[in-house]
């Protein structure tokens, strides 16, 4: 059984920063609405457009910290949009979203000036993690605070509170709680959790996810009447609003 390592507790304070302005360029309207809603929930300011020509105009005229760009767009394809933005000295970080997933496609996009590349289909939680990684590299933060019931998780300060109690978590426990809270009221399978918290394909012979769920329950549920983390037998785990 993996041991909980108290020395890895995360409690790093830093100064909150302004909200990040994002341009989302995606012609699949259902997907665009879904991504935009999640980004807004996380505290980002989001503009949405559905075609390449408008994307170029907005990207040049407004100062976005981040542009999320689909490649298969009407009027002007995403690769052309990317090249025109860079030719016009647009410094926004750009994440490409696309169904194209070959090495050649990725290399072409990165050479044209993209900062990251995410293939469809993807989990929105992974997109959020990629965004935060890029922002940290640039010294930019969004300082979102995730809330479920009476628990709060501050991405920027790495602080977790339930009611008035401050909770100390290890780095892995924090990442696990963050993942559950980003997907509140949705069941996450053990495979999803293992891949997004530990970064490896889930091995059905390991109980590492269950062990860390136990650690996390002890940290955030012990001493409280309401148990927030629930097991869905045969499927996975969920954190639910009261």
* Residue 178 covered by a domain: yes
Q: Looking at the structure, do residues 33 and 131 belong to the same domain, yes or no?
A: yes
Q: Looking at the structure, do residues 129 and 31 belong to the same domain, yes or no?
A: yes
CATH number at residue 101: 3.40.50.2300
Q: Looking at the structure, do residues 62 and 95 belong to the same domain, yes or no?
A: yes
Number of domains the chain contains: 2
Q: What is the pTM of this model?
A: 0.55
* Structural tokens at position 55: 């994307």
The reported pLDDT for the residue numbered 16 is: 36
Q: Looking at the structure, do residues 157 and 119 belong to the same domain, yes or no?
A: no
Q: Looking at the structure, do residues 157 and 124 belong to the same domain, yes or no?
A: no
**Structure-token match 């933060």, residue found:** 141
Q: Looking at the structure, do residues 157 and 76 belong to the same domain, yes or no?
A: no
**Which of 120, 137, 154 is the endpoint of a domain?**
137
Q: Looking at the structure, do residues 129 and 26 belong to the same domain, yes or no?
A: yes
**Which of 121, 137, 153 is the endpoint of a domain?**
137
Kindly give the confidence (pLDDT) of every residue in the chain, 242 residues in length, as a single tens digit, with 9 standing for 90 and above. 555 554 344 433 333 334 789 999 999 999 999 899 888 877 788 999 999 999 999 999 988 999 999 998 999 999 999 999 999 999 999 999 888 767 777 788 788 889 998 888 888 888 988 888 888 777 666 556 788 889 999 877 788 999 889 999 998 899 899 889 888 888 999 888 887 787 665 565 678 899 999 999 999 999 888 899 999 998 999 998 76
* Residue 113 covered by a domain: yes
The reported pLDDT for the residue numbered 3 is: 55
Alpha carbons 135 and 215: distance in angstroms, whole number: 30
Alpha carbons 219 and 208: distance in angstroms, whole number: 17
* Residue 202 covered by a domain: yes
Q: Looking at the structure, do residues 28 and 133 belong to the same domain, yes or no?
A: yes
- Could you give the strand order of the β-sheet that contains 145-148, starting from the edge strand earlier in sequence? 145-148, 151-154, 159-162, 165-167
Alpha carbons 16 and 18: distance in angstroms, whole number: 7
CATH number at residue 172: 1.10.10.10
Q: Looking at the structure, do residues 132 and 151 belong to the same domain, yes or no?
A: no
Alpha carbons 223 and 83: distance in angstroms, whole number: 56
What domain range includes position 126?
21-137
Please report which residue ranges of the chain form alpha helices under DSSP H: 29-41, 52-61, 78-87, 103-111, 124-137, 171-182, 190-193, 208-220
Alpha carbons 123 and 144: distance in angstroms, whole number: 19
The reported pLDDT for the residue numbered 60 is: 95
**Which of 137, 171, 200 is the endpoint of a domain?**
137
């Amino acid at each position: 059984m993996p041991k909980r390592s108290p020395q890895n507790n995360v409690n790093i304070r830093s100064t909150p920063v302004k909200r990040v302005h994002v341009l989302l360029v995606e012609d699949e309207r259902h997907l665009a609405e879904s991504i935009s809603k999640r980004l807004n929930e996380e505290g980002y300011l989001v503009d949405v457009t559905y075609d390449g020509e408008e994307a170029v105009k907005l990207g040049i005229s407004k100062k976005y910290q981040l542009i999320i760009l689909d490649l298969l767009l009407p009027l002007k394809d995403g690769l052309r949009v990317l090249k025109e933005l860079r030719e016009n000295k647009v410094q926004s970080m750009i994440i490409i979203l696309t169904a194209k997933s070959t090495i050649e496609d990725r290399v072409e996009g990165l050479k044209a000036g993209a900062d990251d590349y995410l293939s469809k289909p993807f989990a929105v939680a992974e997109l959020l993690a990629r965004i935060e990684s890029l922002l940290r590299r640039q010294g930019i933060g969004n300082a979102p605070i995730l809330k479920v019931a009476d628990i709060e998780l501050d991405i920027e300060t790495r602080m977790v509170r339930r009611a008035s109690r401050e909770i100390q978590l290890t780095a892995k426990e924090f990442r696990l709680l963050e993942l559950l809270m980003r997907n509140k009221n949705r069941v996450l399978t053990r495979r999803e959790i293992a891949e997004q918290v530990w970064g490896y394909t889930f091995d059905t012979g390991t109980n590492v996810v269950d062990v860390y769920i136990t650690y996390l329950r002890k940290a955030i549920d012990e001493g409280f009447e309401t148990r927030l983390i629930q097991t869905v037998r045969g499927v996975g785990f969920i954190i639910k609003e009261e």
